[in-house]
């Protein structure tokens, strides 16, 4: 016998209160539930309740009850996601399950270069735990002080170190998760090699809460890169970008950890909105931030970076270059790149995009986007910047107003023409859901739905996210 939907919800909530305790099932108007909202303020958030389990077993009990009463579950971690994935949809029938109470670092194993932590651990705390053991957790995001491990796994977070260490996919060795029927999958292995069939953890990584609740992860650690060399190069134009990226890889090889592009538009925004200091005497069309790191021999590292700067200027790939001579200068150069989202916000906000193409197509995509958007949408300003070493660019557009959807459609067509992706690292959530079809064809979308149906036949895990 099936229940009336709202009777099911009421019964489910009563059972959840009995299983977790009253204080762990917050009513939506409870001030303590206020953290469940869309950071960007683009979506309303009306949960039926906010669940706050403290252990994997409590998560499993809660999901089992929700499955029994067909109550949709929205996993929630740091709430820093940029595509509305952690926001409950509709008018108050979905419960939010916060994993913030699962916040223990379970183990750090230096011999194995591995760390196991629960989903609610703040990323900067995971980094700190690795550092305390003399090791390095390479996931670095501007949101690392608030984003949690579970959210990073669920969104396959990228960040500024992907070039050297890969995305979260490459960093996760094992997972523990609660499946949509409430069973616990114990997959916390720290194997580097395991060829025993489908890689189940990879299905959950980047699934944005649609296939289960990640409760803990074992992640790969690296030797601590104690030495850092940073420089900002000024480019004569976009035409030089591909050559410069190749030269940086050749000279710095596996010490190269970041290549971040921004434009004159970005520099002007920084100067105007954040009173930043332009390190160059003259204006330049583009800037490339380069970072290399090493575990030893800082002099050799600095010499390698100098070789890159000299080579770039000599070959005409850079018009000028500023190396950071000490840590504060390195931080000041990084602050330029990291200040861009805030500068956009202060300038009135932007339509944000997070697209990706093959390395050799980045310059072409940015040039085409700037040209077409200026022509078709007069009065807008394109601020293109991002992790260009990974082919990932944020082609953000200021001043689009009501034309936001049309601007995005034009950009996504340009990306699709170049066999790119409409979301290189932020995910799909609800805000990018309609964009998925630009770069994922009918067969791929059908396969995605097949996976979803196989793992979540009742469709209770974060419905309405990722898949239309």
Ligand X SMILES: Cc1cc2nc3c(=O)[nH]c(=O)nc-3n(C[C@H](O)[C@H](O)[C@H](O)COP(=O)(O)OP(=O)(O)OC[C@H]3O[C@@H](n4cnc5c(N)ncnc54)[C@H](O)[C@@H]3O)c2cc1C
- Which chain residues interact with ligand X by CB under 6 A? 39, 74-82, 85-86, 99, 119, 141-143, 147-148, 150-152, 154-155, 157-159, 208-209, 213-214, 341, 425-426, 429, 462, 465
Other CB atoms closer than 10 Å to residue 56's CB: what's the count?
A: 20
Closer to ligand X by Cβ: residue 34 or 283: 34
Tokens of 402: 């009501």
Name the minimum Å distance from CB 427 to ligand X. Answer: 6
How big is the CA angle at 219 (ends 214 and 220), to the nearest 5 degrees? 160
Name the minimum Å distance from CB 237 to ligand X. Answer: 26
Closer to ligand X by Cβ: residue 154 or 247: 154
Closer to ligand X by Cβ: residue 214 or 256: 214
Distance CA 227, CA 301 (A): 8
Confirm if 318 and 217 have CB atoms less than 8 A apart.
no
Please enumerate, as own/partner, the contacts of 194-203 that have beta carbons within 8 Å and a separation of 24 or more.
Answer: 200/175, 201/172, 201/174, 201/175, 202/169, 203/451, 203/455
Name the minimum Å distance from CB 71 to ligand X. Answer: 15
Closer to ligand X by Cβ: residue 364 or 456: 456
Name the minimum Å distance from CB 142 to ligand X. Answer: 4
> Would you call 254 helix, strand, or coil by DSSP?
helix
Closest to 54 (Cα-Cα) out of 120, 143, 144 = 120
Closer to ligand X by Cβ: residue 80 or 116: 80
Beta carbons within 8 Å of 381's beta carbon, 6+ residues apart: 265, 397, 398, 399
Closer to ligand X by Cβ: residue 214 or 410: 214
Closer to ligand X by Cβ: residue 160 or 304: 160
Name the minimum Å distance from CB 397 to ligand X. Answer: 18
**Rounded to the nearest 5°, which phi and psi values hold at 339?**
-80, -10
Distance CA 460, CA 221 (A): 34
Tokens of 382: 């394109």
Which residue shows structure tokens 């906000």? 349
Closer to ligand X by Cβ: residue 309 or 430: 430
Name the minimum Å distance from CB 466 to ligand X. Answer: 8
Other CB atoms closer than 10 Å to residue 183's CB: what's the count?
A: 14
Chain position whose Cβ is nearest to ligand X: 151
Name the minimum Å distance from CB 306 to ligand X. Answer: 28
Name the minimum Å distance from CB 207 to ligand X. Answer: 7
Distance CA 85, CA 205 (A): 14
Name the minimum Å distance from CB 145 to ligand X. Answer: 9
**What DSSP element (H or E) covers 375?**
helix 362-376
**Rounded to the nearest 5°, which phi and psi values hold at 358?**
-60, 150
Closer to ligand X by Cβ: residue 208 or 370: 208
């Amino acid at each position: 016998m099936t229940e009336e939907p709202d009777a099911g919800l009421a019964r489910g909530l009563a059972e959840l209160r009995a299983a977790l305790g009253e204080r762990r099932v917050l009513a939506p108007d409870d001030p303590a539930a206020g953290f469940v909202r869309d950071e960007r303020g683009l979506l309303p958030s009306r949960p039926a309740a906010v669940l706050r389990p403290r252990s994997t077993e409590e998560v499993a009990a809660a999901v089992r009850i929700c499955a029994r009463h067909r109550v949709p579950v929205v996993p929630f971690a740091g709430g820093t996601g940029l595509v509305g994935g952690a926001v409950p949809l509709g008018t108050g029938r979905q419960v939010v399950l916060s994993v913030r109470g699962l916040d223990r670092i379970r183990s750090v194993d230096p011999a194995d270069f591995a760390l196991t932590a629960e989903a609610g651990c703040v990323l900067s705390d995971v980094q700190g735990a690795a550092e305390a053991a003399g090791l390095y957790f390479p996931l670095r995001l501007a949101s690392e002080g608030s984003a949690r491990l579970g959210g990073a796994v669920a969104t396959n977070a990228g960040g500024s170190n992907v070039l050297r260490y890969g995305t979260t996919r490459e960093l996760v060795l094992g997972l523990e998760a609660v499946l949509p029927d409430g069973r616990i999958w114990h997959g916390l292995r720290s194997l580097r090699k395991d060829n025993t069939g489908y890689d189940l953890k990879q299905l959950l990584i980047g699934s944005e809460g649609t296939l289960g609740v990640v409760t803990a992860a074992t992640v790969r650690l690296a030797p601590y890169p104690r030495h850092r060399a940073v420089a900002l190069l000024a480019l004569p134009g976009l035409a030089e970008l591909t050559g410069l990226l190749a030269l940086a890889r050749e000279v710095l090889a596996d010490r190269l950890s970041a290549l971040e592009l921004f434009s004159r538009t970005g520099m002007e925004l920084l100067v105007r909105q954040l009173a930043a200091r332009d390190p160059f005497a003259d204006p330049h069309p583009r800037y490339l931030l380069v970072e290399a790191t090493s575990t030893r021999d800082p002099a050799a590292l600095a010499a390698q970076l100098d070789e890159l700067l000299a080579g770039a200027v000599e070959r005409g790939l850079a018009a000028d270059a500023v190396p950071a001579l000490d840590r504060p200068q390195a931080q000041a150069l990084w602050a330029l790149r990291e200040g861009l989202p805030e500068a956009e916000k202060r300038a009135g906000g932007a339509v944000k995009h997070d697209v990706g193409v093959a390395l050799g197509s980045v310059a072409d995509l940015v040039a085409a986007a700037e040209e077409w958007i200026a022509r078709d949408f007069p009065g807008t300003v394109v601020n293109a910047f991002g992790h260009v070493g990974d082919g990932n660019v944020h082609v953000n557009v200021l001043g689009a107003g009501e034309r936001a959807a049309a601007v995005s459609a034009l950009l996504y067509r340009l990306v699709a023409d170049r066999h790119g992706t409409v979301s290189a690292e932020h995910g799909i959530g609800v805000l990018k859901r309609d964009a998925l079809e630009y770069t994922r064809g009918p067969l791929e979308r059908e396969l995605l739905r097949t996976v979803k149906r196989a793992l979540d036949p009742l469709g209770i895990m974060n419905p309405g996210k990722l898949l239309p």
